[in-house]
Chains A and B, each alone.
Chain A
Amino acid sequence: MAGGRWPVSGRGAARPAGLSLLRFGVVRFPGSCDEVDALLACERVPSAEAQILWHGDADLHGVDAVVIPGGFSYGDYLRVGAIARFSPVMGAVQDFARDGGLVLGICNGFQVLCEAGLLPGALLPNVELRFLCRQVNVEVANADTPFTRDCEAGELLSIPVKHTTGRYYAPPGVLQSLDAHGQIVLTYAHDHNPNGSSNDIAGVCNEQGNVFGLMPHPEHAVDPLTGSTDGLKVFASLA
């Protein structure tokens, strides 16, 4: 992916270095459960601050990047992410993303972004139909995105997954297009695909590169106490 795809104008534009803090906004839906970990992960980035954005508020309060966190928004009723995508805040996120704003969706957030049409594909129940909670290795397939630029291409990151509905699916033609445009950002390492995802896909971005969703939880891998700090690179890449 060309570096020129980094947004240079609009509300989500890259800030001139050293001028101000990067302001993250982390969305809280009814049923979110990882928004505090995401908030704390954002705050570990030295040049960043973070705040919660309420799902019923259509105002993003001028944040520079939006995080849609993990959890069970609206109880996962109907389909995962299906109700959350119509919440007031998501209307604002749609406009923000269209203007080049940076949007990161983690687990349920990835599901919401797919349902909203901000990312291609969908997440289906794991092949083994079980809730999975384990540490996996993911490979950085594209290090030239705003979300992975602190990583090396081919680098392995140790990050946990915890989900029941994490099997990434897209029709064959879409998978080819994702590959051709560098939109496959993270893949599960060999023998680490936990859920039957197509082409071992763990995370994808949109064609413009400013919206990224992944099933693993980088916000749970930011402290040596829990075994890995690799997830911090995703948040630090944005600063």
Chain B
Amino acid sequence: MRARVLVRPKAGILDPQGVAVQRALPALGFEGVADVNVGRLIELDVEDPSQLEAMCEKLLVNPLIEDYSIQWPEADGRSQDAGPHAPRG
């Protein structure tokens, strides 16, 4: 099954890439942008979806510095977040 893992810098840790993007947007005339974070997207086909969280904890994500959420785009278009690592509001 196709899965998406969205990885983002953990809340409270300085994200200099996000800061740089946030500063660049007003220079292009886009106002009203705040709290920008730059993370990464990992897409993968997994035979056993129940293993994906363990894959995240062991390799795909460093939980000390990153949060993540898991999406299953084929499952009725619904997204599913991984418990304690759900995206920040």
Contact = CB atoms under 8 A, between A and B. Distances in A.
Given A82-B59, A86-B59, A121 B17 contact: no
B59 A127 contact: no
B34 interface: no
A98 interface: no
Interface in A100-122: 115, 121-122
Contacts of B64: 121-122, 169-171
Interface string A116-133: 000001101111110000
A169 B13 contact: yes
B73 interface: no
B49 to A, nearest CB: 21
Interface of B: 13-14, 16-17, 20, 59-60, 62, 64-65
Contacts of A170: 64
Contact of B65 (A122, A126, A128): A122
A124 B64 CA distance: 11
B62 A115 contact: yes
Contact of A196 (B14, B17, B59, B65): B14
Contacts of A115: 62
A125 B20 CA distance: 13
Given A79-B62, A169-B65, 17 more contacts: A78-B59, A78-B60, A82-B59, A82-B62, A86-B59, A121-B64, A122-B62, A122-B64, A122-B65, A124-B65, A125-B16, A125-B17, A126-B16, A127-B14, A127-B16, A169-B64, A196-B14
Tell me whether chain A's interface is mostly helix, strand or loop, or mixed.
Answer: loop
Interface of A: 78-79, 82, 86, 115, 121-122, 124-129, 169-171, 196
A170 B20 CA distance: 23
A122 B17 CA distance: 17
Contacts of B65: 122, 124, 169
A159 to B, nearest CB: 24
Closest 8 CB pairs of A and B: A122-B65, A129-B16, A122-B64, A127-B16, A79-B62, A122-B62, A125-B16, A169-B65
B68 to A, nearest CB: 12
A18 to B, nearest CB: 43
6 contacts: A78-B59, A78-B60, A82-B59, A86-B59, A121-B64, A127-B14
Nearest to A170: B64
A125 B65 CA distance: 11
Contacts of B16: 125-129
A13 B33 CA distance: 57
B44 to A, nearest CB: 12
A169 B63 CA distance: 13
Contacts of B62: 79, 82, 115, 122
Contact of A124 (B13, B20, B59, B60): B13
A82 B62 CA distance: 9
A90 B17 CA distance: 31
B78 to A, nearest CB: 27
Nearest to B66: A79
